[in-house]
Structure 1
């Protein structure tokens, strides 16, 4: 593929490296590095203070945008005066001629609304499922006016918008060289993610308590009040929390665990933590909902249980030994490598720019 000049526009909810962007941060890092390895010119536009490996980042200052998952479905559009969201997209507009393609990773109404006003094509990698009526309308408008410009992690996520066929399903990936296979785990299981109500950490605490299996909690402590309420119900939570760790330290702990437990209360768009675990040879036990349901091979690389069924979750924890840690690593290598991710995104870019036929979707 010919060299492209690409501007990847980050989420406006926090600086890259802070953890506030959730899976967007890991996706941007891995995609940006792979695209640059392929010879493309990659620039990241993000809130001031962002650091993303050795990728070039243009920082923009201003008040941060509220996170979409903390808002209601009918919450009005919020755009701060001199806020980072507006300033990022003003910067993109001013410098659009320097790029062949602009790719939006922000889950916010403004970039979708602005799409018709750019001369340089703007594509949208949508990073969450349907959360608000305003966003649903903005997404469907782009689907109608600019066919082929929408991408998503999973089919389940895309279908929440009511126009699932308009999306290219691009999945996700990690740098497998950063994750070491561990064939002989300890006794604990892991829970990894943003500590926020929609992730339902309380279900993992309750299930591991029922199964009498120790739990290691890792991730960004996003909602302090929620965390305090968990501590009142589950006194063991404080001692189980190991913090928000960089990849090297994270994978060393997760790899030593017997399984990863995923308990999303919402439709998880993907679940990068699942493929991080698989890369370490760690099976995933998850609710049969959202992205994890498209990742886990139930009975081989994990177990899928009915959503919100804590008893079923606890029972699945007793069947971890039936799962294959070698198969977990093999699945990560086959489906979630950086070269596979690069192939999918390059094919999407080529299709939008009219240089190749539409891409095939990755195997679930």
Structure 2
């Protein structure tokens, strides 16, 4: 007998409106998953910030938007940073709205990486699930994730094994990867294009290393992304010869993939443990090989010698040498890997299975309520 559709409340990132780009990779993840779950026949309600808009393919989703102050991001937090909840904060109001609607639903799925939803989970009867979008960035968040895992690890899922390894978990992590609408990415086979880099323009993304590698080759580097830290962007540009960096800004997917697909290679240079690596997969979907530091999620996604090259973290010379070898990569293999591992159908199926497994009654957990 086929399983009945789920009724799910989705809790968006509390950092910016969906569609603004301020939520970083979480926006792409949420968009892809909504589309995939909708295609699978599930009923969805999205709680998001004012100004959010539904992506194509999600017309049946019930969108509820709320005003409030953005939650500070944990991405730049110190190890001992405290929890901060702004006055009239968006996170608290979004969580309250989700919990209010939850009794009529099967579960709530939270996409925001923050302490409050994690801490709340054991204290409410509502099944609250969390797709963890970052690795270990601060002690208080690490404690919250590990504490929830000890209570019921079924409520947590991660994008990659490397991300999950940041945390002390009692059982092997539930890894769901990520997913993309491959109809939006065109395979390009030309191998004589420029070099590219994409991501938020912020120190943990390591743009300065990619710029230095391009400069060493005497080439221009196309850069796409939101300038989250303008002073950092200026410093990176000042550190290489004039004209090395060609700023392309933050582009919607259809424009990004069109320009990115013309690149000879994408350079990926994270200075921290990336949870996944959306731009890596977007490049591969276009047939673009990726040269990346063997760190975090990208190091788990790239098959060195088949879909790109992995090099030791922070080794700029190794980047240069690997970029000289990207012509050895068959661009069709890059696309094939995405088709097998990272479509939105594959992703939404994994997430659905995770939630269904987590909804199975556990007597030991029920006894704690």
Instruction: Find the counterpart in structure 2 of residue 348 from structure 1.
Output: 354
Higher deviation after alignment, 322-331 or 227-236? 227-236
Query: How far, CA to CA, are the matches of 1:239 and 1:213 in structure 2?
Result: 9
Q: Kindly tell me: are residues 270 and 164 of structure 1, through their superposed partners in 2, closer, same or farther at Cα, counting changes over 3 Å?
A: farther
Residue among 245, 249, 256 paired with 2:251: 245
SS at match of 1:66: coil
Summarize deviations over 1:39-98 as a string: whole Å, max 9, x none. 100121111111230433211111101111121111111011221011111111222212
Asked if 1:281 corresponds to 2:278, the answer is no
Query: How far, CA to CA, are the matches of 2:150 and 2:304 in structure 1?
Result: 36
Instruction: Find the counterpart in structure 2 of residue 322 from structure 1.
Output: 328
SS at match of 2:153: coil
Tell me the TM-score normalised to structure 1 length. 0.94
Once the 2 structures are TM-superposed, how far is the Cα of residue 238 of structure 1 from its aligned partner? 7.9
Once the 2 structures are TM-superposed, how far is the Cα of residue 118 of structure 1 from its aligned partner? 2.2
Instruction: Find the counterpart in structure 1 of residue 51 from structure 2.
Output: 49
Once the 2 structures are TM-superposed, how far is the Cα of residue 239 of structure 1 from its aligned partner? 5.2
SS at match of 1:314: helix
Instruction: Find the counterpart in structure 1 of residue 199 from structure 2.
Output: 193
Query: How far, CA to CA, are the matches of 1:85 and 1:232 in structure 2?
Result: 38
SS at match of 1:315: helix
Unaligned runs of 5+ in 2: 362-369
CA RMSD of aligned residues (A): 1.4
Residue among 9, 12, 20 paired with 1:10: 12
Query: How far, CA to CA, are the matches of 2:301 and 2:112 in structure 1?
Result: 24
Instruction: Find the counterpart in structure 2 of residue 258 from structure 1.
Output: 264
Are the equivalent residues in 2 in contact too, given 1:151–1:170 (CA < 8 A)? yes
Are the equivalent residues in 2 in contact too, given 1:230–1:237 (CA < 8 A)? no
Unaligned runs of 5+ in 1: 356-364
Query: How far, CA to CA, are the matches of 2:54 and 2:200 in structure 1?
Result: 19
Query: How far, CA to CA, are the matches of 1:3 and 1:297 in structure 2?
Result: 36
Asked if 1:37 corresponds to 2:39, the answer is yes
Residue among 19, 22, 41 paired with 1:20: 22
Query: How far, CA to CA, are the matches of 2:160 and 2:265 in structure 1?
Result: 23
Are the equivalent residues in 2 in contact too, given 1:205–1:237 (CA < 8 A)? no
Instruction: Find the counterpart in structure 1 of residue 127 from structure 2.
Output: 121
Are the equivalent residues in 2 in contact too, given 1:143–1:166 (CA < 8 A)? no
Once the 2 structures are TM-superposed, how far is the Cα of residue 166 of structure 1 from its aligned partner? 5.0
Are the equivalent residues in 2 in contact too, given 1:185–1:255 (CA < 8 A)? no
Instruction: Find the counterpart in structure 2 of residue 72 from structure 1.
Output: 78
Query: How far, CA to CA, are the matches of 2:218 and 2:326 in structure 1?
Result: 14
Are the equivalent residues in 2 in contact too, given 1:7–1:102 (CA < 8 A)? yes
Are the equivalent residues in 2 in contact too, given 1:148–1:166 (CA < 8 A)? no
Residue among 234, 237, 244 paired with 2:240: 234
Instruction: Find the counterpart in structure 2 of residue 306 from structure 1.
Output: 312
Q: Kindly tell me: are residues 296 and 24 of structure 1, through their superposed partners in 2, closer, same or farther at Cα, counting changes over 3 Å?
A: same
Asked if 1:111 corresponds to 2:117, the answer is yes
Instruction: Find the counterpart in structure 2 of residue 332 from structure 1.
Output: 338
Summarize deviations over 1:103-146 as a string: whole Å, max 9, x none. 11111000001112322200110000000110011101110112
Q: Kindly tell me: are residues 263 and 249 of structure 1, through their superposed partners in 2, closer, same or farther at Cα, counting changes over 3 Å?
A: same
Tell me the TM-score normalised to structure 2 length. 0.93
Are the equivalent residues in 1 in contact too, given 2:15–2:71 (CA < 8 A)? yes
Instruction: Find the counterpart in structure 1 of residue 366 from structure 2.
Output: none
Query: How far, CA to CA, are the matches of 1:345 and 1:166 in structure 2?
Result: 16
Once the 2 structures are TM-superposed, how far is the Cα of residue 165 of structure 1 from its aligned partner? 3.4
Once the 2 structures are TM-superposed, how far is the Cα of residue 187 of structure 1 from its aligned partner? 2.9
Query: How far, CA to CA, are the matches of 2:245 and 2:176 in structure 1?
Result: 38
